[in-house]
Amino acid sequence: MSVAALFALVAVGIVGWWLFARQLTAKPWEKRQIESDNASGGAALALPAARVGLWLLLAVMTSFFGLLISAYGMRMELADWRPLAVPDLLWANTAMLLASSAAFQWTRWAVARGHAEGVAAGLVLSGLFAFAFLAGQVLAWQQLHASGQFLASNAAAAFFYLLTGLHGLHLAGGLAVWGRTTARIWRIRARLEDVRLSIELCALYWHFLLAVWLVLFAVLMSGTSLTSAFLDICSAIVKAL
């Protein structure tokens, strides 16, 4: 829970900090302030609304996955916890998702350069990699199932299915948007300007889901305690330095 509480605090804190940066200490009834506000006309973020909306959605999703991880961490501390040996296939899947994210980033650059063919190819590629990731996840489920680890057989297995499943659902949702964007390029030969925002937002969403996956992957391999796993990673980093 402390993870989630910390996140929520940080998120609200960021909002608060940003607001303070917007002169939340000003006195809007004072003449000087009125004049300066009327002269400037006020300010908003220099971003399209859709992008602000997406950032907010990512905050919501961070809260969601953060809470899942909190629940995982708390459930781990209980007596019956037996860590799960996650299938090695996940490494390959991770590579797929990385590739998908990279392809999206490349597509984004292609849009910026106005390189239409590159955009189409990049989109298809990132979609294919994403599908490969999902297929790999399903395969990992099957492997686990075949090895006798069912949803109800122990809590670690249940969390494995739950976390990967929810992450996969979010990616599937992203793929729906990806499908619409790709179809638009294909069908109406849209001008790049028309799909630019969609592609940018998709890329952002993809990077976010990649980051979520990397965290989830680390969490799923963290053995018997999130805290000690976290400390292990920290000490490994310190040693490497």
Partner 1 sequence: MAYVAIADRDVHLHDPQTFVTKYIWSQDHKVIAIQYSVTAIAVGLVALVLSGMMRLQLGFPNTFSFITPSNYLQFITMHGMIMVIYLLTALFLGGFGNYLVPLMVGARDMVFPYMNMLSYRVYLLSVLVLRASCVVPGGPTGAGWTLYPPQAVLPGTSGAGLGIILMLVSLAIFIVAFTMGGLNYVTTILQARCRGMTLLRLPLTVWGIFMATILGLLAFPALLVSAIMMILDSVLGTSFFMPAVVSMGKGLKYDGGSPVLFQHLFWFFGHPEVYIVALPAFGIVSDLLSVHARKNIFGYRMMVWAILAIGCLSFVVWAHHMYVSGMNPYFGYFFATTTLIIAIPTAIKVYNWVLTLWHGDIHLRVPMLFAIGFIFTFVHGGLTGLFLGNVTVDLPLSDTYFVVGHFHMVMGVSPILVVFGAIYHWYPKITGRMLNEALGKLHFWATFLGAYAVYLPMHYLGILGVPRRYYALGDTAFIPNSVHDVNVAITVAALVIAAAQLVFLFNLVWSLAHGREAGSNPWGATTLEWQTPDTPPKHGNWGARLPVAYRWAYEFSVPGARSDFIPQNEPPEAPGGREHGAKP
Which residues contribute to the site for partner 1 (CB under 8 A)?
1, 4-5, 7-9, 11-13, 15-16, 19, 22-29, 34, 37-38, 40-47, 49-50, 52-53, 56-57, 59-61, 63-64, 67-68, 71, 74-75, 78-81, 151-152, 154-155, 158-159, 162, 166
Q: Which is nearer to partner 1, 35 or 232 (CB)?
A: 35
Q: How far apart are CA 208 and CA 54, in angstroms?
A: 11
Only one residue has tokens 């809007």, namely 28
Q: Is the dihedral of CA 227, 232, 238, 241 positive or negative?
A: negative
From the list 93, 96, 89, 91, the residue with the least C-alpha distance to 147 is 89
Q: Which is nearer to partner 1, 105 or 154 (CB)?
A: 154
Q: Please name the amino acid found at residue 54.
A: L
- The answer to whether 41 touches 116, Cβ cutoff 8 Å, is no
- Min separation Cβ 204 and partner 1, Å: 15
- The answer to whether 226 touches 156, Cβ cutoff 8 Å, is no
In terms of C-beta density within 10 A (0-12 exposed, 13-18 middle, 19 or more buried), how is residue 11 classed?
A: middle
- The answer to whether 87 touches 140, Cβ cutoff 8 Å, is yes
Q: Which is nearer to partner 1, 7 or 129 (CB)?
A: 7
- Min separation Cβ 120 and partner 1, Å: 27
**CB atoms closer than 10 angstroms to residue 116:** 15
Cα distances (Å, whole numbers) of residue 13 to 5, 18, 51, 55, 208: 12, 8, 20, 16, 21
**CB atoms closer than 10 angstroms to residue 184:** 14
- Min separation Cβ 41 and partner 1, Å: 4
